[in-house]
Structure 1
Amino acid sequence: MIEDMLRTPSAVRDAEKYTAHNYHPLPVVISSAEGAWLTDVDGKRYLDCLAGYSALNFGHRHPQLIAAAHAQLDRLTLTSRAFIHDQFADFCRELAELCGKDLVLPMNTGAEAVETGIKVARKWGYQVKGVTPGQANIVVAEGNFHGRTTTIVSFSTDEDARADFGPYTPGFTVVPYGDLDALTAAIDENTVAVLLEPIQGEQGVVVPPEGYLPGVRRVCTERDVLFIADEIQSGLGRTGRTFACDHEGVVPDMYLLGKALGGGIVPVSAVAANADVLGVLKPGQHGSTFGGNPLACAVAIEVVRLLATGEFQRRSAELGERLRAGLEGLVGKGLVEVRVRGLWAGLDIDPALMSGREACERLAERGVLAKDTHGSTIRLAPPLVITEEEIDLAVAQLAAVLTA
């Protein structure tokens, strides 16, 4: 009995002792999960309202995805891209069709997809647009989060992500998010791409002004610049559409995808674009040992097929309205502002009440897991398999935390 009581704090202490402190997790030790629920080592259940930053859009251990992984584990897990395996073509074809693009380049992590997009855009700029060699630049937005590699943090405006990791990679121009005039003014003859999140997740689920994304699309077309949409968090059903860009009928030149593409089982990312863009790459110029491996492709094929039905996009849209209604009812009662798009919400708590971290700690005590971002802002991103009753439960527990 005493041993059981000490299991959770011991695991937390060991994690603190033996791992680099690049994360500050809540003191919860998860041992199993199913659907929208997590269970810790002491048997306490938690409603998952983070979903692995959208990596678990289809919930924990979705039966169709688990079956695909099990079947592939018994056959073949890795070949490298030196050979072709029997899952590869189906994955690339079906994802390309979902995106409405010609080609797909599979990688592993979201940051790898972003790095790939940057490389492709630069090469396209030199070979197709005729940009001065070595002078390509890419326009990005303040408040962005595209990953944590050295190149990516070079254009971050988050000092926690950026400070003391220099020297920084040149070739990026940062403009205010949502400001079309500033973006237009930043484009010059050597600009090869505009790289944006259609909704800024890490910043607190910030939705740009209506008309901004269509304006970016128009300017990129007029100025012969690629529009790269980082849909790693916002894509694949999270916002109530397949892609967040779909809400305004915008089609970028390049999609960067990840997180949910791996079904919460394996890391899978991809770049999708037409042949006139991705076709600039030739053998030996880019690659990945694990990118497009058989296990990843087998799971991702099933992810694409789940999305092809439209069921999860509809669930996200419909349940997102319920979430919105519940959260908006708390504005003025502890919440200052809420931003909701599908099953994705950014909540600004009155900073006089508590920090975002404190709110998440109190929610965890009440059996709901969420994640703070900056200051007193927290994010909610439950799996798309969540039910109406579970949404109501999450909102009720948040209300209790705010009024306690």
Structure 2
Amino acid sequence: MVDDILRTPEAVRDAERWTAHNYHPLPVVISSAEGAWLTDVDGRRYLDCLAGYSALNFGHRHPQLIAAAHAQLDRLTLTSRAFIHDQFADFCRELAELCGKDLVLPMNTGAEAVETGIKVARKWGYQVKGVPAGRANIVVAEGNFHGRTTTIVSFSTDEDARADFGPYTPGFTVVPYGDLDALTAAIDENTVAVLLEPIQGEQGVVVPPEGYLPGVRQVCTDRNVLFIADEIQSGLGRTGATFACDHEGVVPDMYLLGKALGGGIVPVSAVAANSDVLGVLKPGQHGSTFGGNPLACAVAIEVVRLLATGDFQRRSAELGERLRAGLEGLLGKGLVAVRVRGLWAGLDIDPALMSGREACERLAERGVLAKDTHGSTIRLAPPLVITEEEIDLAVAKLAEVLAG
């Protein structure tokens, strides 16, 4: 206890008083963190099973990433892209090599990466494929979550994200996720890209049917359409591989990256593609003042180097099997479905028991933080530095919640 005074309620009230209510956070006020653990203003510790929606894949305050940030803060933080700084080339080269692509375009947020991908795909369609001006269309999936900008919510099927934000941007065709026949039928001569999450995170960690992603890759190749993989949540070690696409040996034309790329320290996103795709952009056509800034690049270089060892991917795969076994043991005991890929899980709770929000509130009371989505579904995405014992603790606390 801090000074024997509970500060959490007051801090929650202040946050609600001075902040637009675009989020409905759990009533927990965090003041410090390390590894997989968070500490609130009253000194209570929580096991983090959300990891900033996968932005904290390497845990809170990873020493290698913190050291890189401190060193760069003492030297240079921003130049804008009007000039070149000494961290830029290394970041772009090392990320391009990790992705197996020729070029990288750095941005800041995940939504900016998606917007960039859309712009590049349209320009490629007009300049390379020969689509008539103003006619380009992109095929997307139901249940998608690619961000909340006005263009992106135009093709969202989540009414909370979409309603009352029109008029909507045209140029998108929505098909059922996992349905290759529907996707194939939606592609026409003006289709420039298929934009998909290899695993739908916000929808509840929905893994597509086996063979779906290779099928998408093949139809995109056959029909001269770009395959854009939104790996902002699923990529960079989360699923037990560098990219979720790797599980089925699929290489998209364009990777959209973010979240974990900034190590939980600064917002960093990027688009990675070959020069025949990203090369359509010319100076003045797209950019960002802070995109690829020195501080962001210094941290992201270390993120890429952590991933280049393969250790975090292996750890995610191995510990993910332990998480799967624990969660599947709760099927029929309050859970009606479990979906796991690496250290990423979507859990459907029997709605007769409680909502996902209620489950997360009860978990928080027991010292575990998770996030609900869509009714009685919750997501678990702990930092990849979590231990076997901590996984067992999280499962045990969930079992307590389900048992009432």
TM-score bracket, normalised by the shorter chain, equals over 0.9
CA shift at 1:7, angstroms? 1.3
- Give ranges in structure 2 of 5+ residues lacking alignment: none
Deviations 1:335-355 (A, max 9, x none): 000000000000000000000
CA contact (8 A) 2:138 2:171 kept: yes
CA distance in structure 1 between the aligned counterparts of 2:331 and 2:228, rounded to whole angstroms: 34
Q: Does 1:91 align with 2:91?
A: yes
Deviations 1:99-151 (A, max 9, x none): 00000000000000000000000000000000010000000000000000000
CA contact (8 A) 2:146 2:230 kept: yes
| TM-score, reference length from structure 1 | 0.99
| TM-score, reference length from structure 2 | 0.99
CA contact (8 A) 2:6 2:42 kept: no
CA contact (8 A) 2:259 2:268 kept: yes
Deviations 1:346-381 (A, max 9, x none): 000000000000000000000000000100000000
CA distance in structure 2 between the aligned counterparts of 1:137 and 1:11, rounded to whole angstroms: 47
Deviations 1:275-294 (A, max 9, x none): 00000000000000000000
CA distance in structure 1 between the aligned counterparts of 2:368 and 2:20, rounded to whole angstroms: 26
CA contact (8 A) 2:2 2:43 kept: no
CA shift at 1:296, angstroms? 0.1
3-state SS, counterpart of residue 131 of structure 2: coil
Deviations 1:53-111 (A, max 9, x none): 00000000000000000000000000000000000000000000000000000000000
Aligned ranges 1:230-379 → 2 under 5 Å: 230-379=230-379
CA distance in structure 1 between the aligned counterparts of 2:51 and 2:334, rounded to whole angstroms: 24
CA contact (8 A) 2:2 2:42 kept: no
CA shift at 1:6, angstroms? 3.9
CA shift at 1:3, angstroms? 6.9
CA distance in structure 1 between the aligned counterparts of 2:197 and 2:331, rounded to whole angstroms: 26
CA distance in structure 1 between the aligned counterparts of 2:5 and 2:193, rounded to whole angstroms: 55
3-state SS, counterpart of residue 4 of structure 1: coil
CA shift at 1:2, angstroms? 9.8
3-state SS, counterpart of residue 247 of structure 1: helix
3-state SS, counterpart of residue 104 of structure 2: strand
Deviations 1:139-190 (A, max 9, x none): 0000000000000000000000000000000000000000000000000000
CA shift at 1:4, angstroms? 4.8
CA contact (8 A) 2:262 2:268 kept: yes
CA distance in structure 1 between the aligned counterparts of 2:226 and 2:134, rounded to whole angstroms: 18
CA shift at 1:24, angstroms? 0.2
Match of 2:122 in 1: 122
Q: CA RMSD in A?
A: 0.8
Aligned ranges 1:69-108 → 2 under 5 Å: 69-108=69-108
CA distance in structure 2 between the aligned counterparts of 1:5 and 1:11, rounded to whole angstroms: 12
3-state SS, counterpart of residue 287 of structure 1: coil
3-state SS, counterpart of residue 352 of structure 2: coil
3-state SS, counterpart of residue 384 of structure 1: coil
CA shift at 1:196, angstroms? 0.0
3-state SS, counterpart of residue 26 of structure 2: coil
CA distance in structure 2 between the aligned counterparts of 1:15 and 1:3, rounded to whole angstroms: 21
3-state SS, counterpart of residue 6 of structure 2: helix
| Regions of 4+ moved over 3 Å | 1-4
3-state SS, counterpart of residue 339 of structure 1: strand
Q: What count of residue pairs does the alignment treat as equivalent? A: 404
CA contact (8 A) 2:258 2:268 kept: yes
CA distance in structure 1 between the aligned counterparts of 2:10 and 2:19, rounded to whole angstroms: 14
CA contact (8 A) 2:173 2:186 kept: yes
3-state SS, counterpart of residue 322 of structure 2: helix
3-state SS, counterpart of residue 336 of structure 2: strand
